[in-house]
Amino acid sequence: MHTYLFPGRVRIGPGVVATAGEQAIALGGRHAFIVADPGIVAAGLLDPVTQALQRAGVAFTVDQGVVPNPDTESVDRMTAAYRASGADLIIGLGGGSALDTAKAVRLAAGGPDGVSIWDYAYLRGDDARPAPPRAACPPLIAIPTTAGTGAEATPWAVLTHRQRRHKYGVGADHLIPDLALLDPELTLGLPAWLTAATGIDALSHLIEAYVSTRRHPLLDPLIRHGVALIGRHLRSAVLRGDDLPARQAMMEAALLGGIAITANWLGACHSLAHQLSSFADVHHGVAIALMLPHQMAFSLPAALERYAEIGEALAPRRRPAATLRGRAEHAVTAVRELIADIGLPTHLGAVGVGADLIPAMAASAYENDLNWTTNPRRVTQADLLRMYEQALDAPKAVKET
């Protein structure tokens, strides 16, 4: 048995954000509560949204309280602000942090007043409060300004418990946004490093989902298409930021990544990366870039054919390697080359993480972050520790077979 959960309405294309007002009305909204990333507001990206709302006669309240790696406190504070505003619809505007915050506020806003989002955390197990019913939650429009997390298509949000240094998830099937407006023009001014980091996050979603033990063939062509889009367009999106077709292709790839992980889940790369964020505040996409090649190399013997197909989609070669193993290893090499080409760090030292943090991160990844449970090759805590150790030093050149 397999469950597929596809996103709500998705509108994609240059300028599509101008339809935000009429779309809000179609969802029954009269007053939008905009959960915005302050950097995005400073970059002028709020203006097309508020102008669209004004044209349609939709009132709005803007809250710029989104923090990187969103936490319990910011979500609880914004939930109270949503209630006080009198709004009847939520718009998330920004990168993954803004969209996850908006989704979490939506969930908490559908529950009783004064209940913290932490009460809904999956990792509380039987103690977790069930998500409020769909009808109780306000409608949600997601307007991503990066092409990476795929949060516009997933039914959960990832939050941080600061004191415990835990990443935790909240969610429910109906927390997939009702509408996603994917406007590549909003990503034209995205800094190169952020384009790179978010793009690699999208790639990791596609790859981890493709080799996951929960995989199912229905999504295979979509995932391979997403990987191919990234192979063809991420370099240009990073190195020539005004390449609009490349920007749109990356938004499509990120969307496909969100659909893929909703059905197939992730793998150990995300368990490893999440600790780098909660222990050392490393950006999620940068953390992914640091760990993905190591997790792929570790997992490769358990899924040779799947990795070979990834390599073929990401960087097709005129003369593929003669052996299946060689074709699978090409996937790892192609990912390493892509990460290096787009200028992301390739070892932990480059982000100031030393060996001292590794034992605690490995323990936390194993105990608190269950993404590794669907890794194609079974992992132990010692395996996770070894993958961090391998990421410590700058990689040596790899010779392809």
- Least distance (Å) between residue 369 CB and Fe ion: 12
- Least distance (Å) between residue 289 CB and Fe ion: 11
Q: Give the list of residues 6+ apart from residue 339 with CB closer than 8 angstroms, or none.
A: 200, 289, 292, 293, 346
Show the site string, 197-226: x = touches Fe ion by CB under 5 A, - = not: ----x-------------------------
- Least distance (Å) between residue 204 CB and Fe ion: 6
- Least distance (Å) between residue 7 CB and Fe ion: 16
292 close to 269: Cβ distance less than 8 angstroms: yes
Q: Which of 195-203, 296-304, 321-329, 378-386 is the region at the interface with Fe ion (rule: CB under 5 A)? A: 195-203
Q: Which of 80-88, 196-204, 318-326, 375-383 is the region at the interface with Fe ion (rule: CB under 5 A)? A: 196-204
Run of H or E including 180:
strand 179-182
Q: Which of 21-29, 193-201, 243-251, 325-333 is the region at the interface with Fe ion (rule: CB under 5 A)? A: 193-201
Residue 75 or residue 207: which is nearer to Fe ion going by CB? 207
Neighbours of 108 (CB within 10 A): 29
Q: Which of 74-82, 194-202, 207-215, 389-397 is the region at the interface with Fe ion (rule: CB under 5 A)? A: 194-202
Beta-sheet pairing, 166-171 with 156-161: antiparallel
Q: What is the residue-wise DSSP string for 64-120?
A: ----SS-BHHHHHHHHHHHHHHT-SEEEEEESHHHHHHHHHHHHHHTS-TT--GGGG
Residue 265 or residue 388: which is nearer to Fe ion going by CB? 265
- Least distance (Å) between residue 274 CB and Fe ion: 9
Residue 201 or residue 312: which is nearer to Fe ion going by CB? 201
Of 379, 157, 160, nearest to 274 by C-alpha is 160
Of 50, 62, 54, nearest to 87 by C-alpha is 62
- The size of the interface with Fe ion (CB under 5 A), counted in residues, is 1
CA distance 149 to 205: 8
Could you list the residues that contact Fe ion (CB under 5 A)? 201
